[in-house]
Structure 1
Amino acid sequence: MHPAMSSENGVHTLPEHLQAFALMHVGMRRDARRLVDAAPNVTPGTASALNSWWRQLHDVIDWHHRSEDDVLWPSLRALVPEFGAIEREMLHDHSALEESMAQVSANMRRSTGMAALAPAAHRFHQILVDHLRHEEAAIFPVLAGNLTIAQYTSIEQRIIGSAPPRVMSYLQPWMFDEADPSVTRQVGAGIPTPLRLLGNTLLRIRYQRTVDPVLALR
């Protein structure tokens, strides 16, 4: 895989118009790693905070994949006829990832599930990392090479518009968590000013309150 078509080592080498999409993948990897680090240290007293954070992450990933299935894949199929074979592989990957997330959620809910949370977290992390590597190798060259910037931007706007309120209020501070300031500025420039200011203030504070207890478990 060409290194420019991966976000595993950051998004700087990707075309600027793809960096917001790539930041979502960066955020998923980051938080899957945080879950792996936190799971062995969770106690009955910290389980609720971890579960609250996990539900937010779950909702973001679930929306991201639904938006791919409902918006991105059909759009690419219409514009790039040979995309159909790639789409079938992505749908299979999504099913495996959903099953691993369901296992994490089940262990979070059960009082006896904490002992099984660590292996479930490791499995989720590995499936996610493998899936994103596979997806980026297949999708980024198509997005960069077969679509104009205007075509991609139109699709991206529809994807963002499909986000439910609970995801939209979490998305901006989540995407920018630990992001390079230059990338934050570049991607943030495409966000309407009122929403960007809200994301950098109230929503950022709310986000940090959710994530801080998880960071304390590492």
Structure 2
Amino acid sequence: MTSNSDTAVATRVTPDITGMRIAHRGMISDTRRFAQITAQIAAGSPCPPRRAAAIAEYLNLLCDSIHHHHTIEDDVLWPVLIASAGPAVDVRELEDDHIHVDELLATLRARAFAFAAASDKQAAATELADTLKTAHALLSEHIADEEKVVFPIIDEYVSLEDWARIEKAAKQGGNLKFEVPRVLQHATEPELARMKQEAGVAIRLMLKFLVRGFDKREAIIAG
């Protein structure tokens, strides 16, 4: 005969980490994409001031987004994991990675600013492309390690209440005008379908408004 405790374990509802997956996907995709764009500019692709400014603006917002994501992990997610899983989780290497990423983001911001202001766009784009390639490699490795270590812990130990608190903290400090269109951009078709189904009419209208401004900048970035 199955006990109540056995049933509770068997029917445990795990946190939905879709948002975290999409955020990770966006970081990897954006650093790769802009490494390619700036490499093309370094090779002679036309880049008038308006395009350079749009690229620099996007990269600065991307740095803000990555820093915010890592701050939530350091300040909110890691303490929850440690409290929930105890010795089953060790996030020290991931914390160290965040320090290295922050240092690289500072360089990326500086080079994006220099690129927008430079009279010689090709030379500035070369330095910016190199920084973006390094950022892409570092983030790809860090995210692979993080998902390998953290996702199973979330699945097994973290409660829905704690996960809701983490997601609330992440949303409170995020730039919706930047983050929401990127979620739509980097979500898979099944993820998009589920999000649209869960969204009300008011939210769907807000999404259209946010995407419109985002797409205008994307058109300028594309040249």
Query: Fold match, TM over 0.5?
Result: yes
Question: Which residue number corresponds to residue 29 of structure 1?
Answer: 28
Picking from 176, 189, 214, the partner of 1:207 is 214
Deviation of the 1:181 alpha carbon: 2.6
Q: State whether residues 35 and 121 of structure 1, in contact with CA within 8 Å, keep that contact through their aligned partners in structure 2.
A: yes
The code of the aligned residue for 2:70 comes to H
Q: Choose between structure 1 and 2: higher helix proportion.
A: 2
What is the identity, as a one-letter code, of the residue corresponding to 1:139? V
Decide which of 171, 176, 182 is 2:190's aligned counterpart. 182
Whichever residue aligns with residue 209 of structure 1, its letter is: K
Deviation at 1:74, TM superposition (A): 1.4
Aligned partner (choices 56, 61, 83) of residue 78 of structure 1: 83
Q: TM-score, normalised by structure 1?
A: 0.80
Report deviation, 1:175.
1.1
| Identity score, percent | 24
Q: Which runs of 5+ in 2 are unaligned?
A: 1-13, 42-46
Q: In the alignment, which of 153, 157, 168 is matched to residue 142 of structure 1?
A: 153
Structure 1 unpaired stretches of 5+? 1-14
Residues 114-153 of structure 1: matches in 2 within 5 Å?
114-153=125-164
Deviation at 1:174, TM superposition (A): 0.8
Q: Is the 8 A contact 1:106 1:113 kept in 2?
A: no
C-alpha distance in 2 between matches for 1:107 and 1:128? 18
Distance verdict in 2 for CA 1:191–1:101, change over 3 Å: farther
Residue of structure 2 equivalent to 1:195 = 203
Q: Counterpart of 2:16 in 1: which secondary structure?
A: helix
Asked if residue 20 in structure 1 is aligned to residue 19 in structure 2, the reply is yes
Residues 120 and 93 of structure 1: CA distance in aligned 2, closer, same or farther (over 3 Å): same
* 1:20–1:187 contact (8 Å) kept in structure 2: no
Q: In the alignment, what sits opposite 1:65?
A: 70
Whether the 8 Å CA contact 1:17–1:153 is kept in 2: the answer is no
Contact 1:71–1:159 (8 Å) recurs in 2: no
Over 3 Å counting, the alpha-carbon distance change for 1:36 and 1:145 in structure 2 is same
Name 2:5's counterpart in structure 1.
Answer: none
- Structure 1 residue 52 displacement after superposition: 1.0
4+ residue segments displaced more than 6 Å: none
Residue aligning to 1:88:
92
- The one-letter code matched in structure 1 to 2:210 is L
Question: Which piece of structure 1 moves more, 127-136 or 184-193?
Answer: 184-193
Structure-2 change in CA distance of 1:188 and 1:99 (3 Å): farther
- Whole-angstrom CA distance in 1 between matches of 2:102 and 2:198: 30
Residues in 2 aligned to 1:136 and 1:22: alpha-carbon distance in whole angstroms: 9
Residue 6 (structure 1) aligns with: none
| 2:3 counterpart residue number | none
How many residue pairs end up in the alignment? 197
What is the deviation of 1:56?
1.6
- Superposition TM-score, scaled by structure 2 size: 0.79
Cα deviations across residues 151-209 of structure 1 (Å, max 9, x unaligned)? 32333223323x24xx123211111104223211324555565334312x110111112
Give deviations 1:1-38, integer Å, cap 9, x for gaps: xxxxxxxxxxxxxx771111111111111101111111
Cα 1:154–1:106 change in 2 (3 A) is closer
